[in-house]
Amino acid sequence: MRPVNWPSEPTALCRVLAVLGLLALPAAPAAADAGRPDGQEPRGRTASLAPSGAAPASAPAEPEPAPAEPQQSQQSQQPSSDMTDFAEATMDAMVVSKGAPRFVLNLFGQTSFFFTVPEPPGQHASFALGGLDFLVTAQLGSFLFTGEYVFELDEETFETDVDVERVQIQWRRDNFWIGAGRFHTEVGYWNNAYHHGLFLQLPIDRPRALRFEDDGGLIPAHWVGLVSALEGRVGSGTLRVVAGVANTRGVTQDQVRAVADTTGAKAGNLKLELIGVGLPGLRLGVSGVYDVISGQPAAIRPALPDEDIREIIGNAFLAYAGVHFTLILEGYVFDHNADSRRVTSYDGLAVAGYRVGSVTPYVEVDYLDVPANEPYFATAPPKSTLLVGGLRWDVNDWSAIKLEYGADLPSQGDKTHTIAANWSFGI
């Protein structure tokens, strides 16, 4: 997407943070209450969003009975499987005057250190500050409101930009909902599970094809339009059907058409997902996107000037995020068909990890094949396989340290090896 250039003066940034701080004030009394009035434990990264035994910020006028201690240890409780679950856990944990909060505010951020051998031109071993993600969620009756905003540094200008990642309103009734705004596209599992909450996922980075538009990803990660979903019981599980219509892709790979579309045609999205069939927490499904990318002159698209590109994206996935074991398998086909050529790209990824106590060793295999004559994915890397091995240590419910080794094995050219360390949080 095209980032909003944020003023670099400290006073401007302070004003924004002050406003967000004022918005979060209604949640402050609730954060001090470690228990719920119904005595149930809230769900979170490890079923709790407050440290056990934490003292309240101020003593209540009348002493309240101490909440019951959880029956399970921190390591054996169910982790949040995705970003939506994390936000719902925050809402569950908050109590304002014995009633549900009007909204909750979650923050996600990270800092990394990495070095690559051999060093790419102009790049050296460096510390890197990740984006600061503000997630605002409000449940008011039948309506759900979501806003997600990321403050991040421009690598070229070193100024702070603000990206509006999600702004959406949804109406929900029983097992159906419909929404309008800017969503994360319902394609595959990863894109709508972790969003910008990198703390929640096992690897430090998103898989290459699933990175956001301005990071060189291949999928249309953002969806500006309408989305609806319907769920129904199927045997021991749930069938979830999602459909959407939205603006088409941008004229270049890194664009998101959030205001004005490039053509009168619209993109379509369909997803079928089975949840909890045979195993609680198991998700498997298929999804797809159809789009018409408008033709552009040679100055913008030199690889294929003045031709529309009919895009079909097909996907299949299987995901399981349990107490100890995590497995994610996804495959993608990107078919670009124009009058003068047809090009097909492929991506396959697998991520697996097993948690022992507070430590999770994990591996990732990411295969990407984008032909050299691909007209739209101008920044895609050549055909290669990325192998990653890492270790995640959950310092507490809200923070994790990850250590990773990655080997990029292209079909042609030199191999590269990267060592990275990352400290992330989600609160």
Locate the domains of the chain by residue range: 4-52+70-426
CATH number of 4-52+70-426: 2.40.160.10
Closest CA to 91 of 70, 106, 107, 79: 106
Burial class (CB in 10 A: 0-12, 13-18, 19+), 119: exposed
In terms of Cα–Cα distance, which of 227, 228, 226, 309 is closest to 262?
309
DSSP string, 15-68: HHHHHHHHHHGGGHHHHH--S-TT-PPPPSTTS-SS-TTPPPSS--SSPPPPPP
pLDDT at position 157, please?
79
DSSP string, 165-227: EEEEEEEEETTEEEEEEEEE---SSHHHHTTT-GGGSSSSS--GGGS-GGGT-SS--EEEEEE
In the chain (427 residues long), the average pLDDT of successive 10-residue segments reads 43 47 42 36 37 37 44 52 74 58 89 94 90 93 94 83 93 96 96 92 96 92 96 93 96 90 93 94 97 93 93 98 95 96 97 97 97 90 94 96 97 93 96
Instruction: Please tell me the predicted confidence (pLDDT) of residue 56.
Output: 37
Look at residue 155 in the predicted model and tell me its pLDDT. Answer: 77
Question: Which amino acid makes up residue 44?
Answer: G
pLDDT one-digit tens code per residue, 147-177: 999 998 877 778 888 999 999 999 999 999 9
Query: How open is the CA angle 29-423-86, to the nearest 5 degrees?
Result: 45
* pLDDT for residue 392: 98
Token code pair at residue 51? 């440290």
Contact assessment for residue 90 and residue 108, using Cβ atoms and an 8 Å cutoff: no
CA 35, 38, 43, 47 torsion-angle sign: positive
Residues in the chain: 427
250 touches 259 (CB < 8 A): no
Residue 3, classed as helix, strand or coil, is coil
- The vertex-275 CA angle with 198 and 134, nearest 5°, equals 25
Cα Rg of the chain (Å, integer): 22
Q: Do residues 377 and 343 touch, judged by C-beta distance below 8 A?
A: no
